[in-house]
């Protein structure tokens, strides 16, 4: 199996890279996302009488490289330059009989159009009128909502980890994405104007920078992000961007790297952190703080390419190179639940503390009242009927249902209450003869608790390491006034070690972020040819690749499961370690089931784009082609996964997670009461999978567009565009995939199909085909290896206007249709994971009274996976998952619209007020393929009542049927550099509602009853997972007015000491994100349930919100007599999580050295106020008030201090 863990795609990459980079300046026609990383200049030439001047010669000069272009004004005096690379320019206008006009310092940014109107005075071209351009504040040429972050902000603002993506989170309408298990939040993942984060588009120098890797195991949505010192600027576009942009329906993060100039410049830096200087994490209660050490170091250098006596590139060939290394060693803080000291010392026979340390009671069908934490004997599970005598207890049943008896050392006869202290002392004593020695040995792997209580009683600080090295190399070539080109190569290698909370094989590590390495690369090659001053062509080639390999601890140490009495676990290199053992309250034991993992994404892209300037129009048109591959190998549970939730050791249908350890310990046995159910117990869920070969997944994308930016009048600009896009259906290179398509939502049994490519039909066992037929699923073969059809009618019109009402006011409005591509949904829900190409079986308890197998052949530790064959020929077919996606795929789309008013308050300050809205349709949403379409009693057998009873319940079907709507008011105040101060502050008040659920990190609950008539996914219409009502961002820089060339202390020693100081800051204040409370009891077999809100009760507590964030009395289960939809409880997203408050601050001191060299010393504080930003609470069982809604983690760091030195030359 080691052969499976060479990095996928290495050979292909280096072969292609060598070819394309060596040919970068040999006239390749290459590609990008149109001219997305360039701007334009438009203007008119008039005389002092406002008469238009035709045939004036206009020259555009790059002030850094000296490169020039020329144009001529038309008969109306209009001229334009497009595309124009990012940078600072001068415009020189000449015409016989007029003075020469020069405007300098014109700043060109990505996706901006600078208006340069030249007024000529009568005279001679030998006389020059020079005007210094100021930075325009009003956006008079574009209608999109966007925010520019310039190079100074990128390098100066305090950035934790020097990741510029976090600056995108400061734009209006933007919030950080919901909490996740993949590290995406830690890498700056965000949501803009209610769009799902999976619909954001990341561009680097116009090249696709999106990670298509399955599950985002690389922990970023982008492939690579160069360090701040390598970036010129970036733009965040959140609404109604031009037709040049496609691929996604969310925000566009358009990043541009620096290029060299005619002079040599550079910088070197070192950023240092040490945990000794940091504040203690709110939940770190042990005396010793976790260690933390971080070093980020590197350099950047740029200039002309000069080889002495061989070649001088001044004025034509320029380079930029940077390197950055990062070394992080961190003692992480983990707070989890382990068995108590009393439980361990009793040999796991005395669990009285589960009752003593909890509060509350529960009532069963016999009317017996028992304390929360009571352990029930699975061997006493039996049916009772309302009004009938239960012979075991001599009690008349209060209702019909099932009961089981507590472990009680006294008499159960005629006992209805077990709540006195004397009665509690007789509960929860387990007989040692009933316990599994294997379970005892495994529980002994847990360390002793470090704190009191039965939950969150163990703190550990395992050492995390994260080391990376990366570099960027860019070459720019100015061949002539008509031809220019550039090529860039970016590389980053990252190695990580992220231990679980426990040492040794106990581990408990999650699969993400896990241990492993990631290599990321991005290549851009571009050539621009100016045919005439009014006709230009730009062509680019792009290549991006990210490869990620992760392994569990003890991956090659075999025989471990057998040592602990777990049978049947396949043993081969790469599959070592324990299976995953999960519990109701206890922390997981063993190694993650979705490891080892080997995944990659490889994207080739090619496009060509033409710009035509004619009269008042700037027309752009182009095409884009992408070839997207994402080879993937990830077994979902090749060592098995066993779940012990406490369902069999709790009161029937009222699962108490604290009894999980008792369920784990107790060997299933024959019933010990009259009429009892035999063999209840063991695991209530078991999953297992084969170790399949790499799935070579592939799809392609094509886009074409036409954009007309029309200066209709001197005050009105129109942005008109149309884009067409095609998103190819994913396929597998060898046809190793199958697609399960259920029937309509009204009855999935009707017309259900299981489709495989003809080339693979012979690999499907006849027994499986017969089982499909038994459940009325048609088996079909097809020559269409894609197993579906893509939508071909994705035409997306865009319309916008910018109207300059007066010299201080501009009005923007726009509407656009934006199609979204396939979102990342991982391998476990994709067709290649279907049988027989991947053998994935899962067993879930049909209810709380039935074991997984009536004879316990499945569910006990001793049997393990012994009776679960994992080859296609002999697999246990009755527990196969069915996976699929809609055959005739509908592309997700968003209709976005905005209205904005910009008002220039002063020469340096602008205010913007905007409305931004959108309606999104056909969003990808996963629903179960095999569940129920009727509301049945909780004790009904969900398996036998499912659509396809001979297959595993659950599964996943991707259906593009979800929708969302967003409406937001945005206020933005921007003060550009003036009098030593810049400020960018914005406030957003918004609301996002819909039926969408994130496919990777769903924080607002699954669909309760997607097939039940009258319910569907519409029953779960709720707040979006990133719905944040109030968001405030502020950032800026203030140079203290002290020292040379300032207002105070301008001379002498005082000037030297006091000068060169500046403050920088980023502040974020926002409401919490929503989450859902489920019911604490099972109300309908196989379906979901949400808690009801109790009228008149505040859902939030008034004090000590960490111990209890929510008020348990504010939530209730549906009445036991509830029927129909009422049994499914209330709406989702009943509450919001904790608010977020953070201020990052930096203090700089600039020390001038010699000539153009200066030293910069920095002190930076992240979360300077040390405000704890809490994660959402856990333990959401409101019938256990003592532990309900406890917060045990923060989503951000305590105060961290960082010191740095940078030298510039």
**In the predicted model, is pLDDT for residue 181 greater than 80?**
no
Q: What is the DSSP string of 9-39?
A: THHHHHHHHHHHHHTTTTT-----STTTTEE
User: Given pLDDT bands bounded at 50, 70 and 90, which one contains residue 1197?
Assistant: confident
Highest mean pLDDT among 80-84, 216-220, 560-564: 560-564
Task: Specify whether 1171 is located in the same domain as 1042.
Answer: yes
Share of the chain above pLDDT 90, in %: 71
Question: Are 702 and 679 members of one domain?
Answer: no
Say whether both 1108 and 1032 belong to one domain.
yes
Backbone angles phi, psi at 437, to 5 degrees: -60, -35
Cα separation, 343 vs 263, in Å, equals 73
Shared domain check, 678 and 820: no
Residue at 1038 is within a domain: yes
1014 and 1132 both lie in a single domain = yes
Token pair of 268 as six digits: 């070197």
CA atoms within 13 A on the CB side of 557: 12
Of 1007, 826, 995, 992, which is closest to residue 929 (Cα–Cα)?
A: 1007
What is the tens place of the pLDDT at every residue in 1150-1176? 999 988 899 999 999 999 999 999 999
In tens, the pLDDT along 168-178 reads 999 999 998 88
Q: What does the pLDDT read at residue 11?
A: 42
CA angle 197, 202, 207 (to 5 degrees): 155
Question: Quick one: which of 482, 469, 462 has its CA closest to 517?
Answer: 469
Residue found by looking up tokens 């600027």 in the block: 233
Q: What pLDDT, on a 0 to 100 scale, did the predictor assign at position 1119? A: 92
Q: Which of 921, 926, 919, 917 is nearest to 892 (CA)?
A: 921
Let me know if residue 756 belongs to a domain: yes
Which of 94, 115, 132 represents a domain boundary (last residue)? 132
User: Contact 777/768 with Cβ under 8 angstroms?
Assistant: no
Dist. CA 848–CA 838, nearest whole Å: 29
Q: Is residue 604 part of a domain?
A: no
Place of tokens 């992000």: 225
CA distances from 786 to 103, 165, 697, 730, 783 (A): 57, 35, 10, 6, 9
- pLDDT above 70 covers a percentage of the chain that reads 96
Task: Provide the 3-class DSSP secondary structure of residue 388.
Answer: coil
Cα–Cα distance measured from residue 359 to residue 428, given in angstroms and rounded to the nearest whole number: 15
Which pLDDT score is estimated for 183? 80
- Indicate whether 109 belongs to any domain: yes
Residue 552 pLDDT > 50? yes
For 314-349, what is each residue's pLDDT tens digit?
Answer: 999 999 999 999 999 988 878 899 999 999 999 999
Cβ atoms < 10 Å from Cβ of 1104: 8
* 746 and 650 co-located in one domain: no
Domain assignment present for residue 826? The answer is: yes
Q: Are residues 1106 and 1177 located together in one domain of the fold? A: yes
Q: What is the mean pLDDT of the chain?
A: 91
pLDDT tens digits, one per residue of 718-768: 999 999 999 999 999 999 999 999 999 889 999 999 999 999 999 999 999
Asked whether the predicted pLDDT for residue 1 surpasses 60, the reply is: no
Same domain, 780 and 672: no
State mean pLDDT over 994-1017.
91
Left (φ > 0), alpha (ψ -120 to 50) or beta: where does 758 sit?
alpha
pLDDT at 12 over 50: no
Whether the ω angle into residue 836 lies within 30 degrees of 0, i.e. cis, is yes
Quickly state the pLDDT bin for 544 (edges 50, 70, 90).
Answer: very high
Q: What's the pLDDT score for residue 98?
A: 87
**Beta-bridge partner residues of 427:** 408
Q: Are residues 1007 and 1090 in the same domain?
A: yes
Across the range 1071-1085, mean pLDDT stands at 93
Contacts for 505 with CB less than 8 Å, ≥ 6 apart: 445, 553, 554, 560, 577, 578, 590, 591
Category of 291 on φ-ψ map: left (φ > 0), alpha (ψ -120 to 50) or beta: beta
Other beta carbons less than 10 A from residue 1079's beta carbon? 24
User: Residue 543: beta bridge partners?
Assistant: 523, 604
Residue 151 domain-assigned?
no
Residues 1168, 1070, single domain; the answer is yes
Three-state SS for 856? coil
3-state SS, one letter per residue, for 772-841? HHHCCCEEEEECCCCCCECCCCEEEEEEEEEEEEECCEEEEEEEEEEEECCCCCCCCCCHHHCCCCCCEE
For residue 978, the model assigns a pLDDT of 65
Q: How many residues does the chain have?
A: 1209
110: containing domain: 38-132
String of DSSP letters for 637-706: STT-EEEE-STTSSBTTB--GGGHHHHHHBPP----STTPPTT--S-SEEEEE--PPPB-EEEEEEEEEE
Locate 720 and state its tokens.
Answer: 């008109």
b/e burial code for range 460-493 (CB count within 10 A of at least 16 → b) = bbbebebbbebbbebbbbbbeeeebbbbbbbbbe
- pLDDT confidence of 267, banded at 50, 70, 90? very high
Confidence of residue 30 (pLDDT cuts 50, 70, 90): very low
Residue 1063: beta bridge partners? Answer: 1038, 1147
> pLDDT-based confidence at 28, cuts 50/70/90?
very low
Say how far apart CA 899 and CA 910 lie, in whole Å.
16
Say whether both 720 and 664 belong to one domain: no
Query: How far apart (Å, rounded) are the C-alpha atoms in residues 248 and 253?
Result: 11
**pLDDT classification of 828: cutoffs 50, 70, 90:** low
CB 550 within 8 A of CB 592: no
Give residue 954's region: left, alpha or beta (phi > 0; psi -120 to 50): left
Residue partners of 279: CB distance under 8 A and separation at least 6:
1170, 1198, 1199, 1200
Does a structural domain hold residue 825? yes
- Domain count of the fold of the chain: 4
The whole-number pLDDT of residue 134 equals 64
Give the pLDDT mean for 428-449.
Answer: 97
Q: Which of 812, 834, 856 is where one domain is finished?
A: 834
Phi, psi of 20 (to 5 degrees): -75, -35
| Mean per-residue pLDDT, 95-113 | 87
Is residue 4 over pLDDT 50?
Answer: no
Query: Does residue 786 sit within a domain?
Result: yes
Confidence of residue 876 (pLDDT cuts 50, 70, 90): confident
Q: Does the pLDDT of residue 128 top 80, yes or no?
A: no
Same domain, 727 and 666: no
pTM of the model: 0.87
pLDDT tens track for 341-397: 999 999 999 999 999 999 999 999 999 999 999 999 999 999 999 999 999 999 999
- Whether the pLDDT of residue 34 is over 50: the answer is no
Residue range 565-617, pLDDT digits in tens: 999 999 999 999 999 999 999 999 998 888 898 999 999 999 999 999 888 89
Q: Return the pLDDT at 558.
A: 94
């Amino acid at each position: 199996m080691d052969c499976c863990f060479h990095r996928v795609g290495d050979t292909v990459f280096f072969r292609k890279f060598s070819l394309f980079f060596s040919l970068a300046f040999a006239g390749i026609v290459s590609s990008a996302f149109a001219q997305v990383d360039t701007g334009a200049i438009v203007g008119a030439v008039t005389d002092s009488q406002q008469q238009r001047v035709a045939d004036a010669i206009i020259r555009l000069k790059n002030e850094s490289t000296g490169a020039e272009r020329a144009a001529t004004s038309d008969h109306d005096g209009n001229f334009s330059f497009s595309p124009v690379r990012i940078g600072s320019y001068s415009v020189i206008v000449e015409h016989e009989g007029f003075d020469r006009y020069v405007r300098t310092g014109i700043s060109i940014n990505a996706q901006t159009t600078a208006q340069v109107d030249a007024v000529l005075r009568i005279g001679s071209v030998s006389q020059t009128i020079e005007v210094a351009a100021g930075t325009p504040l009003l956006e008079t040429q574009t209608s999109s909502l966007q925010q520019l972050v310039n190079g100074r902000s990128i390098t100066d603002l305090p950035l934790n980890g020097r990741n510029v993506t976090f600056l995108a989170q400061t734009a209006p309408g933007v919030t950080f994405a919901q909490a996740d298990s993949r590290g995406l939040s830690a890498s700056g993942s965000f949501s803009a104007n209610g769009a799902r984060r999976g619909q954001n588009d990341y561009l680097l120098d116009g090249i696709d920078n999106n990670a298509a890797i399955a599950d985002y195991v690389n922990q970023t949505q982008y492939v690579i992000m160069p360090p701040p010192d390598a970036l010129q600027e970036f733009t965040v576009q959140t609404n109604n961007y031009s037709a040049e942009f496609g691929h996604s329906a969310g925000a566009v993060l358009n990043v541009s790297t620096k290029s060299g100039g005619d002079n040599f410049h550079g910088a070197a830096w070192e950023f240092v952190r040490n945990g000794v200087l940091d504040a203690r994490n709110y939940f770190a209660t042990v005396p010793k703080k976790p260690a933390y050490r971080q070093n980020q170091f590197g350099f950047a250098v740029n200039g002309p390419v000069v080889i002495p006596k061989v070649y001088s590139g001044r004025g034509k060939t320029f380079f930029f190179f940077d390197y950055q290394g990062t070394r992080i060693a961190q003692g992480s803080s983990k707070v989890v639940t382990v068995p108590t000291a009393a439980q361990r010392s009793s040999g796991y026979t005395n669990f009285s503390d589960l009752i003593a340390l909890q509060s509350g009671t529960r009532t069963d069908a016999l009317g017996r009242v028992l304390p929360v934490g009571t352990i029930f004997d699975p061997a006493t599970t039996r049916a009772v009927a309302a009004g009938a005598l239960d012979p075991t207890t001599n009690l008349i049943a209060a209702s019909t249902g099932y009961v089981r008896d507590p472990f009680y050392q006294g008499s159960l006869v005629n006992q209805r209450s077990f709540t006195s202290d004397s009665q509690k002392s007789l509960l929860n004593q387990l007989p040692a003869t009933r316990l599994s020695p294997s379970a005892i040995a495994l529980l002994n792997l847990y360390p002793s608790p470090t704190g009191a209580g039965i939950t969150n009683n163990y703190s550990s600080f395992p050492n995390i390491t994260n080391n990376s090295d990366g570099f960027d190399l860019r070459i720019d070539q100015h061949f002539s006034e008509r031809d220019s080109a550039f090529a860039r190569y970016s590389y980053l290698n990252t190695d990580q070690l992220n231990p679980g909370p426990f040492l040794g094989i106990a581990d408990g590590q999650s699969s993400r972020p896990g241990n492993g390495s990631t290599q990321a690369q991005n290549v851009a090659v571009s050539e621009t040819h100016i045919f005439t001053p009014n006709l230009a062509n730009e062509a680019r080639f792009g290549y991006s690749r990210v490869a990620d390999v992760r392994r569990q601890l003890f991956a090659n140490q075999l025989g471990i499961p057998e040592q602990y009495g777990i049978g049947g676990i396949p043993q081969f290199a790469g599959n070592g370690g324990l299976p995953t053992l999960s519990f109701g309250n206890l922390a997981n034991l063993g190694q993650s089931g979705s490891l080892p993992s080997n995944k990659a994404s490889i994207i080739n892209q090619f496009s060509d784009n033409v710009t035509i300037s004619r009269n008042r129009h700037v027309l752009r048109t182009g095409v884009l082609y992408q070839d997207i591959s994402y080879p993937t190998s990830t077994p979902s549970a090749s060592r098995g996964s066993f779940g012990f939730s406490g369902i069999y050791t709790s009161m029937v249908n009222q699962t108490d997670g604290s009894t999980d350890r008792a369920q784990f310990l107790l060997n299933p046995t024959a019933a010990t009461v009259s009429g009892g159910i035999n063999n209840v117990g063991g695991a209530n869920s078991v999953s297992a999978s084969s170790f399949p070969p790499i799935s070579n997944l592939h799809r392609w994308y094509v886009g074409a567009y036409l954009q007309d930016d029309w200066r209709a009048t001197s005050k009105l600009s129109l942005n008109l565009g149309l884009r067409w896009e095609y998103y190819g259906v994913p396929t597998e290179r060898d046809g190793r995939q199958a697609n399960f398509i259920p029937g309509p939502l009204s009855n999935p049994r009707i017309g259900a199909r299981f489709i495989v490519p003809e080339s693979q039909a012979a690999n499907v066992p006849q027994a499986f085909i017969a089982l499909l037929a038994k459940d009325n699923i048609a088996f079909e073969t097809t020559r269409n290896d894609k197993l579906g059809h893509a939508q071909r009618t994705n035409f997306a019109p865009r319309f916008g206007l910018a109207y300059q009402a007066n010299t201080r006011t501009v009005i923007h409005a726009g509407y656009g249709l934006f199609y979204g591509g396939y979102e990342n949904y991982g391998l476990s829900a994709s067709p290649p994971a279907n049988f027989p190409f991947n053998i994935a079986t899962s067993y879930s308890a049909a209810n709380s009274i039935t074991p997984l197998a009536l004879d316990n052949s499945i569910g006990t530790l001793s049997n393990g996976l012994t009776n679960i064959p994992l080859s296609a020929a002999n697999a246990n077919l009755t527990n196969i998952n069915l996976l699929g996606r809609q055959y005739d795929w509908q592309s997700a789309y968003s209709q976005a619209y905005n209205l904005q008013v910009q008002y220039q308050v002063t020469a340096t300050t602008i205010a913007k007020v905007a409305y931004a809205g959108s309606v999104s349709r056909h969003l990808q949403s996963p629903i179960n393929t095999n569940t129920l379409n009727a509301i049945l009693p909780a004790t009904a057998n969900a398996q036998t009542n499912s659509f396809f009873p001979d297959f595993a319940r659950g599964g996943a079907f991707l259906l593009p049927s979800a929708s969302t709507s967003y409406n937001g008011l945005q206020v933005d105040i921007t003060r550009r550099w003036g009098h030593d101060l810049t400020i960018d502050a914005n406030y957003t008040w918004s609301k996002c509602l819909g039926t969408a659920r994130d496919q990777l990190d769903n924080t607002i609950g699954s669909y309760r009853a997607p097939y039940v008539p009258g319910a569907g996914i519409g029953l779960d219409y709720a707040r979006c997972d990133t719905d944040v009502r109030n968001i405030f961002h502020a950032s800026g820089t203030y140079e203290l007015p002290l020292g040379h060339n300032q207002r105070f202390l301008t001379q002498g020693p005082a000037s030297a000491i006091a000068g060169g100081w500046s403050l920088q800051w980023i502040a974020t204040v926002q409401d919490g994100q929503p989450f859902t409370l489920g019911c604490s009891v099972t109300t309908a077999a196989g379906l979901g349930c949400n808690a009801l809100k109790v009228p008149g009760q505040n859902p939030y507590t008034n004090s000590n919100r960490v111990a209890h964030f929510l008020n348990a009395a504010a939530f209730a289960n549906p009445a036991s007599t509830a029927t129909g939809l009422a049994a499914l409880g209330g709406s989702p997203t009943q509450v919001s999580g904790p608010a977020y408050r953070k201020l990052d601050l930096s203090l700089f001191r600039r020390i001038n050295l010699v000539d153009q060299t200066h030293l910069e010393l920095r002190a930076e504080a992240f979360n300077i106020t040390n405000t704890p930003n809490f994660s959402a609470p856990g333990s959401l069982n409101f019938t256990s008030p003592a532990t309900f809604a406890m917060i045990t983690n923060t989503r951000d760091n305590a105060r961290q201090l960082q010191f740095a030195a940078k030298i510039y030359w």
